[in-house]
Structures are given as C-alpha cells and as structure tokens.
Structure 1
C-alpha cells in the first residue's frame, strides 16, 4: 500500500521520469528490483522499513503505486498479480448478503466470475444498463446496495457510463463506487475526480502496453475500513505480482503517454474511415458523433476517446470471421492495449449468454501506420 505524494509536473513528465526517482544507493536512473521474500525486524521487534513479507507487499511495487496515485489523484494504491485479482478483491472486500449493482456490458471474465462465484459466496448482484440513469437509480437500494461497479468505456460495445451522475446516485444511498477505467487509462479519464471511490486498472493492458506483463491495480480516493479489507484480501490471498513484473510494468508505463496518444489517434482515424465503408454495418467508438454515448464521453474523457473500437460487419458472423481470418497486420488474439493491433471475434470467445452481436469484431488499435492498418482491414473484407 502506497500513499500519494504531489509531483509538481505534468502526467507526461511524471510517466517519462517515473516521478523522477533514482536509486539512492547506486544513483542509478532505473530503480532496483527487490527479490527478497522476508525482511529483518529491528531490535525493538518492529519492522522499521514497513516491509514484513513479500506475499503482502514488496518495495518494488511502491514506485508503480506512487505513480498511479499521482496520475489518478488518489491517496493510496495497491498493485495486484492481475486485473482480475484487483477487480475481484473489490468484491471480496464486501460481506455476504451485500447488494451490488454492475453493468450489463462489461469485461466478460469478471461478469462470469460475478455470476458463478460471487453469487455463490453470498453477494446479491443486479446487472443494469449503466447508460440509463433511471434504471441505475431504480436498481440502487439505500442501505442495502454497498457497491456500484462501473466500466467505462464498457468492453466490447464501448458504452459510456456517466461517472459523476452515477456516483451521486450511489452516494445518496450510502454505496461505494468503483470504476474499471482500463480502456480509458488515467490519461483520458480520472474517475476519482468525478466522484468515484476506487478506480481499477488491468495493468496488463495500456499501463504496461507491451503484452508481456500480467498485473492489476486499485487506487482509492481515501483510506477507509473498506479499503483496509481490500488490502487484507491482497495480503492474505497473496494476490501480488512478482517483483520482476512490477519493474517491467514501471518500465512500460514510462512511455504510456506516447503510446496512448498514438492509439487514440489511430482508433479515431479507423473509426471515421470504417464508418463510411459500405460493408460495415456499424462502428462502435465513443469519439464518433454518431455514437450513443458521445456526449457523455466528451464530458468525462479528455485528450482522446481511447484505442478500442468495435465494428459490425454486413453479412453476419461468417463475414466477420472471414475478415478477422484474412488480416495480415492485425493479430488475431485476445487482450488489448499493446503496441501491436489486435482483432477478435468476441462472440466466439464469450460464448453462450454474451450480449455481443455475432457480427461484431473488437479492434485494439496499436501504434502502427494508420493507413496500413486501414488498408489491411479493407483487403480482408469479404468480396461482394
């Protein structure tokens, strides 16, 4: 667990210099990796450094956590072994019988976990269209709803939830608000400033950005008994990354502002061009004026609308699968947020019960040449 400290420079400078930290012992501009699993007690039987055992914490996590606090405007942060470990810790910090409101459109693996594990454990969960404020208000029960979980943009339809409005509804009922802001990144949206209590990132994605680290993170607006339970979930469950992964994550974050800027630019270009193609039924991207959530996205996203978009292909599932199978630059793989562009037929991945249309392809725009990415999609479309 790491407290935030004000850094008097921009997010770009904070990222590039990793808050300007150097190794005090060697004066190296890259911080060391601490591989110790256990730490020495002082003569008074306490731990003067605060380090006890690496199942609970590790000094290598602290620079990453401090940087995340700076970017999100949070008081404390926790690094986890995966995005799922971070997300599930938020729910495991609740108590059996607590009521949760979650979005209908959300990361499929977490939705499955909520349906197959969290409900068995005793949480009561209602899935709601988070773009409908009246539906959200109706789902929240004062003194019973303990958590409202948002994901915006919502994977893979990229629905936009009004964080400020929903936070106000939740707070009036005594519920906490947690936001999965993985696809927005701290550079485009700061949920804590909009009223949320906790923000979650699958650090595997844009934070690291190189498809070679699995990690997750939580940042809280302020310390609380609920946050301390979440911290205990991490420590007692050992839901932590390796020190090497934490160091690699910090390395990736130092170029995040450049990568996210390029991905946003490429995604916007692709969305605008694909929307005009006669074989594309629909383009789902918050940056398009035609997109249902565009107005709210303009209000709470700054500096871009993200690197993720989805397209619906005329001709149904077979046409969509054909397109994905015939790309040369786009890689057919799960995940997102890396420097390479990925394409995936989500309904095949999610299976029965998915809200994803069978003609939909999810695109993660990387940082390649945008014209070459577009031309690759065009040449792969089924010929009519």
Structure 2
C-alpha cells in the first residue's frame, strides 16, 4: 500500500504537493517557490497540442491563468486535505462559490439552500442567480433534514449547505442530506469554511463538492484573500476547471497561493489551539448573567451538539452569543475590548469579534435578520490562539463596560 494513503491530515498539511525537485525548481526547494511568471516557454511547437491536455502534474505549464506551479502545489494539498481527487484554487471564497454554483445550475433550475447562510452567499443567490439567471431558490431550516426532503423537486439540481453556519453555528446532517440527494440528478455542495478539513470532511460524509474561503482557517494569518473547491466528481471537476480557467478566470494569484500553502502547514496545531480557547470562552460566557445564549457546537447546551460529535472531529474556534440588553450595550461591550479586535472575517491566529446585524449581515433586511434570529445584540467571535486567561480577562472588561451605563440625561 502507498504510504501516502495512510498519512494523517497533520502530515498532509505540512508536506503534500511540496516535493523537492518536483515543484518546478531544480534547486530542491523545501518550500514551494512563488512562480510569478505569467507565461511559460515551450520546448517546441507541437501543432497537435491542446491547452486542456497540458498536465501540471507532469510539470507542464503554458499560461498563468490556466495553471501555475505555485497554485498547483496548493490545489494538490487542498484536494488531499479534503480527501478529494480534484482541487481548484480561486481568488476568493465568493469566486469559489459562484463558480461551483454556475457549474451546476442553469436558468429554470431549482436550488435548495440552508436559510442560515453567510449573508454574502444569500445575496449572491438572490441578486445574481434568482434575479439575473432565473434560478429558483428555496431556503429551509436544514437543522431538520425533513425540511430539506420536503423542498426537493424534480427540477432541483443543487443542494447548498453550510455546516456549521454563519453566524449562529447551526449544523445540518451532511450524511443524511447526502442520502436524500444520492438518487437524484443533483449536486450536494457544502461550505466547510468554519470547520476546516481538520475537523470535518464532507466528501467522506457523502457530499459531492466542498468549498472554502481559504482566507479563513486554511490560510490562518489574515493576510490573503482566496478560495477553494474540492470534488471527487470527474465531470464536475472538468466543468469547474473550464469556468475557473476560461469561463470566469477567477484564479488564485501565485503570491496568495503561496501564503495559503504556507498557512496550511500549521493547520493542525492552530485548530487544536483555536478549539481549546473557544471552548473556554464559550463556557465562560455561558456562566455570565449578562449573556442569554451561547452558540457553540462544543457545548452540551447546543441543540446540535450530538450531531457535531458524530460528524465532526472537533468543534472549531467560532462562537456567537446574545447579550442581555440593547444595541447600545453591545456597542459598549465591543468597544471596551482590546485583545479581541473589532473586525469582520474569522480564522486568523488573532481573536476577532463583530456585531453581525451591523457588519457581516447588514446587507440582509431587518425582517430577514429577525427571521434568522440575528438580533441587534448577537455577537460573533472568532477565537484566536492567544493566552486563554488574557481573552477571558478582555471579555470581563467588556462586561464591566456594560455595567457602566451613562446616567440618563435630564429634561
């Protein structure tokens, strides 16, 4: 048996795709170099050569948009991390999602999606696929698989899920939904950004395609914007490659590909630390009288805790919680913090915190946010790898600020 088939994800994250003398350099680079060339010299003129026949696995490259040695290293590693055959790196997570959807759905098709999707994905579905491409989308509470089953139609060509979701960390039963879709002419896609392949591998659970914003945990250092798609489906992979390289062209740059590849090397160590800190923060928040609810799959109080233990190997570093108060209380809490930085995004080594209603999910209407349970005091935290005690002390400062309400002004 090939030793590579039995390697742990910890090892894959460090070495996959980076083999000295086989990564486009004769110098024996231990780290894949950044290949900035936009085009590549050919050894001769082959009049029968087709661009789609050029094989990056054999060290063949023609033009940077079609393939690049640095990006190819990343794509090889991404596929291995998710246990898939085909990986494609994109300029952003949004580009990865858009290209995946575009590779499957056509005008007149139907798509079923988790109602608690990232606001940017919902906006893409509503403003591009529904409004411009005549695709019908049904949003469901996918925490109950029966709702997904009830929404399926003969014309359903794609089921699109996140698990855990953004921002309330809800889960769907990936294996259960995969069984629903298996006998249909439809593709089941999962956005695995929040869990990362270290804690969850949707392809192993029956999904057809997995998408990441590699900006987040895979890069892990908040210094690259990129995305990825991984699949085992050869036909889907061929269409994805066409759209990636020709139809859309939203490929990851060589430098961003290098940064993500570098970041993945520490994925295992980072994810373990993220989870340790996030669980400590979640338990601390759950003990506070100023907090009415904490959403973290690692807590036994989470409604999907049992499912998380079944389909995930860990619970990740993201949580959200509700403050007992109003938006002014949330503002005082957030602005008093110093270790948690007020900023959008997740997955970096530093702790970030935000107010979804006024930041990431502001594009949704108040009615849409209310339907999803996104209140003015719901706070999302991406817990970093800092000292646990420092993070808890910082949150204590936030609660102290909430207690220092300014006196009411007199008439």
Bucket of the pairwise TM-score, normalised by the shorter protein: over 0.9
Question: Where do residues 23-38 of structure 1 align in structure 2 (5 Å cutoff)?
Answer: 23-24=21-22, 25-38=26-39
Contact 1:163/1:195, CA 8 A, preserved across alignment:
yes
Q: 2:20 aligns with which of 8, 19, 22?
A: 22
**1:135 matched to which residue of 2?**
147
Residue 343 of structure 1 pairs with residue 363 of structure 2:
no
Question: Where do residues 241-260 of structure 1 align in structure 2 (5 Å cutoff)?
Answer: 241-260=252-271
Q: State the Cα distance separating 1:22 from its structure 2 match.
A: 1.8
Residue 312 of structure 1 pairs with residue 313 of structure 2:
no
Structure 2: unaligned runs, 5 residues or longer: 405-411
> Could you tell which deviates more after superposition, 52-61 or 35-44?
35-44
Q: State the Cα distance separating 1:273 from its structure 2 match.
A: 1.4
User: How many angstroms apart in 2 are the aligned matches of 1:162 and 1:258?
Assistant: 27
Contact 1:19/1:67, CA 8 A, preserved across alignment:
yes
Q: State the Cα distance separating 1:118 from its structure 2 match.
A: 1.1
**1:362 matched to which residue of 2?**
380
Contact 1:201/1:217, CA 8 A, preserved across alignment:
yes
Contact 1:140/1:173, CA 8 A, preserved across alignment:
no
When Rg is computed on C-alpha atoms for both structures, the one with the higher figure is 2
**1:322 matched to which residue of 2?**
332
**2:182 matched to which residue of 1?**
171
**2:408 matched to which residue of 1?**
none
What CA deviation, in whole Å up to 9, does each residue of 1:177-202 have, x standing for no partner? 01000011001111001000000110
Structure 1: unaligned runs, 5 residues or longer: none
What CA deviation, in whole Å up to 9, does each residue of 1:94-132 have, x standing for no partner? 211111111110111111111111112121111111111
CA RMSD of aligned residues (A): 1.6
Residue 121 of structure 1 pairs with residue 138 of structure 2:
no
Q: State the Cα distance separating 1:8 from its structure 2 match.
A: 4.1
Contact 1:6/1:70, CA 8 A, preserved across alignment:
no
Q: State the Cα distance separating 1:7 from its structure 2 match.
A: 4.9
Contact 2:14/2:266, CA 8 A, preserved across alignment:
yes
Q: State the Cα distance separating 1:229 from its structure 2 match.
A: 2.1
User: How many angstroms apart in 1 are the aligned matches of 2:5 and 2:221?
Assistant: 26
Residue 74 of structure 1 pairs with residue 72 of structure 2:
no
User: How many angstroms apart in 2 are the aligned matches of 1:221 and 1:295?
Assistant: 28
User: How many angstroms apart in 1 are the aligned matches of 2:289 and 2:350?
Assistant: 26
> Could you tell which deviates more after superposition, 51-60 or 274-283?
51-60
> Could you tell which deviates more after superposition, 151-160 or 23-32?
23-32
Contact 1:141/1:173, CA 8 A, preserved across alignment:
no
User: How many angstroms apart in 2 are the aligned matches of 1:111 and 1:56?
Assistant: 29
Contact 1:18/1:250, CA 8 A, preserved across alignment:
no
Q: State the Cα distance separating 1:50 from its structure 2 match.
A: 4.0
**2:409 matched to which residue of 1?**
none
**1:200 matched to which residue of 2?**
211
User: How many angstroms apart in 1 are the aligned matches of 2:295 and 2:183?
Assistant: 32
**1:11 matched to which residue of 2?**
9
User: How many angstroms apart in 2 are the aligned matches of 1:141 and 1:71?
Assistant: 33
Secondary structure (helix, strand or coil) at the match of 1:361 reads strand
Quickly say closer, same or farther: Cα 1:7–1:29, change in 2 above 3 A: farther
> Could you tell which deviates more after superposition, 65-74 or 328-337?
65-74
Q: 2:46 aligns with which of 44, 47, 50?
A: 44
User: How many angstroms apart in 2 are the aligned matches of 1:214 and 1:196?
Assistant: 25
> Could you tell which deviates more after superposition, 370-379 or 202-211?
370-379
Secondary structure (helix, strand or coil) at the match of 2:258 reads helix
Secondary structure (helix, strand or coil) at the match of 1:322 reads helix
User: How many angstroms apart in 2 are the aligned matches of 1:262 and 1:77?
Assistant: 27
Q: State the Cα distance separating 1:274 from its structure 2 match.
A: 0.9
User: How many angstroms apart in 2 are the aligned matches of 1:215 and 1:18?
Assistant: 19
Secondary structure (helix, strand or coil) at the match of 2:397 reads helix
Quickly say closer, same or farther: Cα 1:184–1:104, change in 2 above 3 A: same
How many correspondences in the alignment? 377
Contact 2:192/2:200, CA 8 A, preserved across alignment:
yes
Secondary structure (helix, strand or coil) at the match of 2:403 reads coil
Q: State the Cα distance separating 1:358 from its structure 2 match.
A: 1.4
Q: State the Cα distance separating 1:31 from its structure 2 match.
A: 1.4
User: How many angstroms apart in 1 are the aligned matches of 2:222 and 2:81?
Assistant: 22
User: How many angstroms apart in 2 are the aligned matches of 1:229 and 1:333?
Assistant: 36
Residue 274 of structure 1 pairs with residue 285 of structure 2:
yes
Contact 2:35/2:254, CA 8 A, preserved across alignment:
yes
